[in-house]
A = this chain, B = another copy of it.
Amino acid sequence: MALKNKKEKNFSEWYTELVSEAGANLADIRYGIQGAIVETPWAVKIMRAYEAMLEKEVEADGHEPMLFPTIVPEAYIKKEKEHVKGFAPELYWVTEGGGKKLDEKMYLRPTGESQIFPMYSIWIRSWNQLPFKRYQSRISVFRFESTTRPFLRGREFNFFECHDVFATHEEALKQIERDMIYTENVAHKKLGLPFMFVRRPQWDKFAGGVDTYGAETIVDGKVNTIASTHDFGQNFAKAYDIIFTDQHEKKQFGWQTTLGPGLIRIMAGLIGIHGDNYGLVLPFEIAPVQIVIIPIIFEKKSADVDKKCKQLEKELKEQGYRVKYDDSDNTAGWKYNEWEMKGVPIRIEVGPREVKENKLTLVRRDVKQKEIISEKDLDKKIEEHADALLKNITKKAETELKNSINEAKTFADAKKILETKRGIVRAPWCSIDFDGQKCADKLQEEASAKVRGTLFGKEEKASGKCIMCGKPAKHVVYIAKSY
């Protein structure tokens, strides 16, 4: 039984159905606050799996975990004036506690900078503490968003952030490259979510920073950013007094970077990019259940089949697989649907024939083809299919991302692409400094799309004219609608 809504016809309804209890049951939106979802066991387990991968990546590169409170004193946000301008409109305020008005009101962190940097100012003293790399994960942040959607935009949502301080700008810029590599290693290589890494135009950078970079995936023709990384230069160090004494006994402001892998956006990518009309399709490594064993029973229950299933379950568990023997009273067909919906990578069917012939029937979630194998080949086949599944969904996603990028030489071209093919428009642009912002405003107004940025790490040569103002183009930019 497939989902009622079809991915290719009405993506938005398909997504909502798949997320809900009627689908793969990832989140419940019936909690009494808009944009504050309850995450179910299935979602928590998936998220923890890739969160652990990200933690491993950043720790291997010298980041240490820390944990800050959720609440922040009002005074902290006021130190950096661009930052306060950017975030103040979205803040939630705690104004009462213990039955009375608080002396100083507190906000719920919208992101960590304003709460973390006052402590960095205390902690960081000397060049020999640098680079200073810390992260916090499995935390919540809060933003008063007008429109919300599970795993795409929330008023409270799961967060992960690295905050690094360096002695020089050069080192900070190298960190940006490493931030991209962490994202590549986890999102692309392990989860099959390829992305474009772009440098944002100046008018769209993080409030208070010098430069922002984003990892862009495409979900249903719109950009879904799965990681953001920021070069803060010395801006925040100056605002928050993050000062170290260098080797020549001279006081210097630190150079800072921030990485924020988008935990919820990665989930949105897994759902929206790999999912199909039968439900989720999960990479083997992160699936809460990797292998489901389903008994095929005709007429009356077969003790042989049950015994074989139990034995298989035991063996596979001992090998470290996350395996489930579904011996519930539901029909086999009902079980197929349920576990397909949840994206379980491999299904093993065991019926009287399989028992008799020492064979097993394997079905891989992405291709849904049956394969009859010898029982003795099971280990090898599991590994093969786990790899093949990841390769297959990765390749499909890579092709989709590649195909979603289309060339435009004029605004009319760009608009047509955005309205028909959708996805990303590659186009010549006047300037990605603030003087290009007027053109961006016009683009937003006339096509509801944004300049996502220029390609990172590879300066593309521009030719022709800016599609908005007609001035000679200095940059090749990527334009898209976004979530």
* Residues of A bordering B, CB below 8 Å: 28, 30-33, 36-41, 43-45, 48, 64-73, 75-76, 88-99, 106, 108, 115, 118-119, 122-123, 134, 138, 140, 142, 144, 146, 155-156, 158
Contacts and interface: CB of A to CB of B under 8 A. Distances in A.
A41 B58 CA distance: 14
A99 B95 contact: no
Contacts of A72: 32-33
A43 B134 CA distance: 13
A36 B92 CA distance: 18
25 contacts: A28-B122, A28-B123, A31-B69, A32-B75, A32-B76, A33-B69, A33-B71, A33-B106, A36-B69, A36-B71, A38-B67, A38-B68, A38-B119, A41-B64, A41-B134, A69-B156, A70-B142, A71-B142, A88-B99, A89-B98, A93-B95, A93-B97, A94-B108, A95-B95, A99-B144
B69 A37 contact: yes
A98 B34 CA distance: 13
Contacts of A96: 92-93, 95
Contact of A69 (B30, B45, B140): B140
Number of copies: 2
A101 to B, nearest CB: 10
Given A32-B118, A66-B39, A98 B90 contact: yes
B92 A93 contact: no
A41 B69 contact: no
B144 A70 contact: no
- Cβ-closest 10 pairs across A and B: A98-B144, A41-B64, A36-B69, A32-B73, A93-B96, A39-B67, A97-B144, A44-B65, A92-B97, A69-B156
A115 B37 CA distance: 12
A44 B69 contact: no
Contacts of A119: 28, 30-31, 38
Given A93-B96, A94-B94, 6 more contacts: A33-B106, A38-B119, A41-B134, A44-B67, A70-B156, A90-B98
Given A38-B67, A119-B28, A156-B71, A99 B94 contact: no
Contacts of A40: 66
Contacts of A64: 41
Contacts of A39: 66-68
